[in-house]
Structure 1
């Protein structure tokens, strides 16, 4: 793709329905509320020095030079991996000195072009909410599309001024509301993204901030001319004044571990010539406060939450191959008690375990038909594949044979039928014809077509995984070219489609060349995804297709079996990235680092040879505040190790996501391809 800045396709979901529907769905699935959080550094606005950080005991005050435009209080992602700051424009970045800064696009459809104030991460770090011109706006934390108004004109008329948003881990927003040009205070309000309801919960108050667990609010209120600190329950009840001294107390921030509030302290009224500004900590239990910074050092404290992310390792042992392990990781056992996080298989796809490129289309097919990809010899059904079929798929289910008899012999089909399944062969004279046959099995009229060069497995697997992200809807297919040539079988499939209603993406240089020089009945405009290496192409495809995903999969670039099995298991959850074995490849590392605010789980498929310690440590570092805040879970044969009580190790961990499973729940708010630019104007004639 030549331009990485995405915008909405006009025909897709409107801003209002996005805020009302998908955000509500995301709120219902937020996992942060289930996790224990502790406190790390305190970030500050340092004036001309931009973002600063300091330890809670006052030591280690330092500037963070790589985050630009820091004109207002910076705020942390829910896991402490990134901060967001800005003024004329917002940016997110790390405080560790790395350069993975993401500058968010300009907001669209706002009533004014005022500065961007009080940015805060929302819904598990997937979004950023801020105030501009007294109007609340939101957008994805990775900048994949331009921020938009959060509330409707009815909810936020021009006579209203909403500022200082704060986000609960369950998705509720609280903010300060004014009437009459931001001068007439109307207290603190909340917005529930699931119900779209607005509510005035505190009649008088400013600068609200939720505690890390979402049960409490801190805010300020004027008492006898001074701004004092107050606390309340999250619903606005139980209001208590917690400071009384004759000074201004501004910009409260909870200690993520609870019990303390950092705030901006002023010896006299803020802004007066004799004012001395410091940052202090209030101990709520004892009522005492301690100074953190010296006079004039820093303002607007925000406390880093440290929450564990997850690296889940799925691998086979003994006679259990990676295909069976991935299947066990994803699908229930027929006749057994349902395991939370698993699905009931509705089909299965068989591929030749020695043929990489013929296996690539199976990923999109398996994701669409809700079944595992299993691998076997071409001459007969392997015992391991037969065992996993019987475990995962009820009798009478359809087993798709990916390839002609030269790929999967007639004996394979007869053995599948002998087990009580329907064997449906998807045949083709060559690889391109097979991809077209599989595409027709998914849909004769898909919404999205991904084209990749079948001469090498890397781009086809990445493309098929992206197409599979639209699983269960019959809307995403992958077609394979023969190098820079579009064979007749693929041309025929494309000629039957309407370019005006079908989106096409060329993945990789050869596929782009093939499409640009193809002789088709109709002219096509399409997107192009390029890159110097296969790792680059996969990372660029992830940026193009996904908006602030919550999970990702890293695959060993040398072992296609891991990628096919893992891609089929995870295609509907998040992007797939290629990595070298010795350590995490630079494109994958950079992508994960940029998406760290939203990604809280990474999955890998394959054994230690594919992901040695250096690789795993690099993944852990990329998605969390540092590697110590990512916990690795080992799923041998696709099963999490059971404890004596019969629960998984992950479910017993305090930092476990909602649902108590290391398997990521599908995120209904993630709609691949929803906010994309107009395709490049290529003529395929």
Structure 2
């Protein structure tokens, strides 16, 4: 697969790179996001194609000019307004790695996009001719809906800024009757679409990294206050006009524009002399946070140990009242010797809010029994996938003897079982993903995607059913024939798409299992914080891993596990979504997914601070997990991808592969 960028334009200019180089900032009259970090680098841009760092390095956006750019929480990507009105992102060390988030909106202006919270979404200001400025927000990936955040009250809302949390601070002004801001500006918060004033006679607000203070411009000087407008601190004192303040990620200084120069002063107001001018920087200041990400390998001595490690990474111990991990409401149990009955299990596990575990068909495996007792309170429900020929009555009795209630979900064959699992998730799902049941890769990627749609808060449902390669077996055909017209069908993989073509299925397939998994990730996800990687050559680790990824609202991507270089599909996804990704999960030991693959994942999802490799972590999905300061307890609501969204994203994804 050729490596492409969705809206990449070629250029003959070279990109200058160096170890520790960063990206961007630019525009006029904007404030800048302040994500916390212990290390950072001050950067600036002046509306050209270049982003200049205070170590002398310049990064060129190939084929574009960069306006109003701002850094992701880990410093891996910067979001900016292109010369043709896109909202796009650029990689910190690759001026050709440019991806669109929002296509141009004819007749509208856009300005100063910012990463919100943990990078899952981006906010910016937009203006149609003759109308006031408004605040818009979207998931930080192409193909997501754009939401207007500001009230439609005839006032201008502009200069948004964010930090580690979800709060957005903006400037507000009256309208002059011709679509231009006028009068004394004021600053305040947009919570949802509700405006709350902080203070008046203030412009260009920027939040402190800890979210407790806001800096702003008043009468040409930089000031800060608490979030009620009190506890005023004057940051600059000498004559001159200053604008566009930006906190350093450690909260110690505030940089700002002073004419064409970049300068700074102590945030506590203790420096009363002439501000410190930064040599070599001009235009708009921006501090690039340098936060480490992490790669977590989840593995054991065998498939049972790996399955248990995957469960322990995210699900709490039922008998602990202080365990902050997610509380399992159920367990899904599948056979461990073949994949056929389990391919719909990831969607079921996410819908029932619990891990997917596996055992031999004839007896409950001891390590799995131990994990089941750990994660599920007595009386909890264990869903058994398949008939007694798949999981024996002995297994069922052993599960009951542990104090659990069992529910067997089975059909006459693998196809009937997939339909029974689908009905257990939702008899009238919003989306049905169909993949061949004669092999595992396409259905594994589909399971994580479908499961993520079943998460609480999304208000949607999706299931996986199986085809007999490119034909429909009777059980699946009967199921599809009985669907409501409101249920959309998605054919994942060429065989699944071919089999379901008579049902108007949305086709989603590439030339290989790896491309199909990438296309599925593009179509169903965006702004995710976690990505899971499993070998594309075997199924057990990916099966349990896919269930976890569904619960984390992240994609499962397949890698050539023992190859001597990272698969291009993994590189593509990790690079494009690195602005929101903070954790890569590798399912299986180094014998299954080698260290070359794990290291490549870490390098491509991280910024200049790199990543930390860990094994069998038990805090995956916790708001404060990992080494990075951008973790936030104010997580956004899960993103819903409607069938129309998936259809549009699938078409765009197919075009990307053809480039």
TM-score (norm 2): 0.83
> Of 102, 121, 131, which aligns to 1:127?
121
Query: Which segment drifts farther, 233-242 or 572-581?
Result: 233-242
Query: Residues 135 and 555 from structure 1, CA distance in 2 versus in 1: closer, same or farther, beyond 3 angstroms?
Result: same
List alignment gaps of at least 5 residues for structure 2.
7-32, 128-132, 652-659
- Structure 1 position 667, deviation (Å): 5.4
Find the counterpart in structure 1 of residue 507 from structure 2. Answer: 528
**In structure 2, do the counterparts of structure 1 residues 675 and 165 end up closer, same or farther at CA, with 3 Å as the change threshold?**
farther
1:252 correspondence with 2:245: yes
Structure-2 separation of matches of 1:591 and 1:319: 26
Query: What whole-Å deviation, never above 9, does each CA across 1:309-355 have from its counterpart, x for those lacking one?
Result: 33333222589611222223333334343410231342x33222110
Q: Structure 1 residue 513 and structure 2 residue 498: aligned?
A: yes
Counterpart of 2:440 in structure 1 is 457
What residue number does 1:443 align with? 426
**Partner in structure 1 of residue 263 of structure 2:** 280
How far is 1:96 from its partner? 0.6
**Aligned residue runs from structure 1 range 466-615, under 5 A:** 466-471=449-454, 475-498=461-484, 500-516=485-501, 518=502, 524-573=503-552, 574-581=554-561, 582=563, 583-615=565-597
CA 666–399 in structure 1, closer or farther in 2 if over 3 Å, else same: farther
Matched position secondary structure for 1:189: strand
Alignment partner of 1:392 is 2:375: yes
CA contact (8 A) 1:188 1:208 kept: no
Residues 211-222 of structure 1: matches in 2 within 5 Å? 211-222=208-219
Per-residue deviation, residues 530-581 of structure 1 (Å, max 9, x unmatched): 1122222112111211231222222222341111112222312222111222
Question: Partner residue of 1:634?
Answer: 615
SS in 2 for 1:145: coil
The 8 Å contact of residues 165 and 176 in structure 1, kept in 2 or not, is answered as yes
For the structure 1 residues 240 and 381, does the alpha-carbon distance in structure 2 shift closer, same or farther, using more than 3 Å as the test? Answer: closer
CA 252–395 in structure 1, closer or farther in 2 if over 3 Å, else same: closer
| Counterpart residue number, 2:90 | 93
Residue 657 and residue 90 in structure 1: after superposition, are their counterparts in 2 closer, same or farther (change >3 A)? closer
Distance 1:350 1:281, change over 3 A: same
2:171 — aligned with what? 176
Residue matched to 1:269: none
* CA distance in 2: counterparts of 1:484 and 1:400, whole angstroms: 29
Q: In structure 1, which of residues 243, 257, 264 is the aligned counterpart of residue 257 of structure 2?
A: 264
Of 583, 607, 628, the residue aligned with 1:625 is 607
Contact 1:400 1:425 in 2 (8 A): yes
Q: Which runs of 4+ in 1 moved over 4 A?
A: 317-320, 638-641, 650-654, 677-681
Residues 436-486 of structure 1: per-residue CA shift (max 9 Å, x gap) = 122222232222111001121111111112121133678221111011001
SS in 2 for 1:321: helix
Quick check: 1:319–1:384 contact (8 Å CA) kept in 2?
A: no
- Alignment partners' CA distance in 2, 1:486 and 1:670: 31
Contact in 2 for aligned 1:67/1:101 (Cα 8 Å) = no
Match of 1:46 in 2: 46
Q: Aligned-pair distance for 1:251?
A: 2.0
Is the 8 Å Cα contact of residues 88 and 101 (structure 2) preserved in structure 1?
Answer: yes
1:355 aligns with 338
For 1:184-199, what aligned pairs fall within 5 Å after superposition? Answer: 184-193=182-191, 196-199=193-196
State the 1:78 CA deviation.
2.0
Q: Which residue of 2 aligns with 1:270?
A: none
Secondary structure at the aligned position of 1:139 is classed as strand
Shift of 1:377: 1.8
Change (3 A) 1:186 1:559: farther
Aligned length: 599
Alpha carbons 2:173, 2:186 under 8 Å: kept: no
Distance 1:264 1:640, change over 3 A: closer
Gaps of 5+ in 1: 6-31, 267-276, 519-523, 642-647, 660-664
Pairwise CA distance, 1:674: 7.4
User: Secondary structure, in 3 states, of the residue corresponding to 1:350?
Assistant: strand
Deviation per CA, 1:611-633, whole angstroms, max 9, x where unpaired? 4333232222222213x442333
**2:634 matched to 1:657?**
no
Q: CA deviation at 1:606?
A: 1.9
User: CA offsets per residue over residues 18-76 of structure 1, 9 Å max, x none?
Assistant: xxxxxxxxxxxxxx99x8513433332234x3241212xxx314132237242x33111
* Alpha-carbon offset, residue 202 of structure 1: 2.3
* RMSD after superposition: 3.1
Which of residues 34, 53, 60 is equivalent to 2:56? 60
Matches within 5 A, 1:349-428: 349-428=332-411
SS at match of 1:209: strand
Q: Any conservation in 1 of the 2:525–2:555 contact (CA below 8 Å)?
A: yes
Give distance in 1, aligned partners of 2:626 and 2:94. 35
Which residue does the alignment assign to 2:26? none
In structure 2, relative to structure 1, the CA distance for the partners of 1:560 and 1:259 (3 Å cut) is: same
CA distance in 2, matches of 1:666, 1:118: 22
Counterpart Cα distance in 2 of 1:82 and 1:427? 47
1:9 maps to what in 2? Answer: none
1:329–1:342 CA contact under 8 A, matched in 2: no
In the TM superposition, residue 675 of structure 1 has moved relative to its aligned partner by 6.6
The answer to whether 1:163 aligns with 2:168 is no
Query: Quick check: 540-549 or 277-286, which moved more?
Result: 277-286
For the residues of structure 1 that align with 2:159 and 2:524, how far apart are their CA atoms?
32
